[in-house]
Amino acid sequence: MGKLLFSIIILIIIIVMLFPSDFCGEKKWQCERYKHTINIIKKISTTIRQFQSDRKFFPKYTDIFPLEKTQIKYPNQIKIDAWGNLFIYVVKEKGEKFLLYSVGKNGIDEFGKGDDILLESEHNKNIYCD
């Protein structure tokens, strides 16, 4: 009986070591972070569009992501994603468009590719959520 129990415990340890993220719910946690980050991006995008509508030009980075709480001018000014990384915000095409994204769980700016999270393109949702 003791050997059987010991064997079962060893088997469980091996399974956890081979499949730690699935066994511990890591995929689900990453999916929740992804969804939370998408929601933040939606709020920030709304803030950017509101600023652009009010002023007829896109804001500077510090207008949207204030350095201090006392500088907040628009609602929903959030600086970090669900992994604690700063968002990337770039005004493109001579000030006519903007790009806003999270660098994702690896924390590396892959210019909107790889595991970076963009609102316009959910190409990487399968990285975080099956």
pLDDT truncated to tens, each residue of the chain (130 aa)? 677 776 777 767 666 555 555 555 677 888 899 999 999 899 889 888 998 999 999 998 877 776 555 555 544 445 788 888 888 888 887 778 898 999 999 999 998 888 899 877 656 667 778 6
Q: How far apart are CA 8 and CA 67, in angstroms?
A: 54
Whether residue 117 contacts residue 41, with contact meaning beta carbons closer than 8 Å, is answered with: yes
Indicate the CATH number for domain 25-129: 3.30.700
Q: How far apart are CA 37 and CA 105, in angstroms?
A: 11
Q: What was the pLDDT predicted at 32?
A: 92
pTM over 0.75: no
Count CB atoms within 10 A of the CB of residue 72.
Answer: 12
Residue among 62, 63, 106 nearest 81 (CA) = 106
State the SS3 of 78-130.
CCECCCCCECEEEEECCCCEEEEEECCCCCCCCCCCCCCEECCCCCCHHHHCC
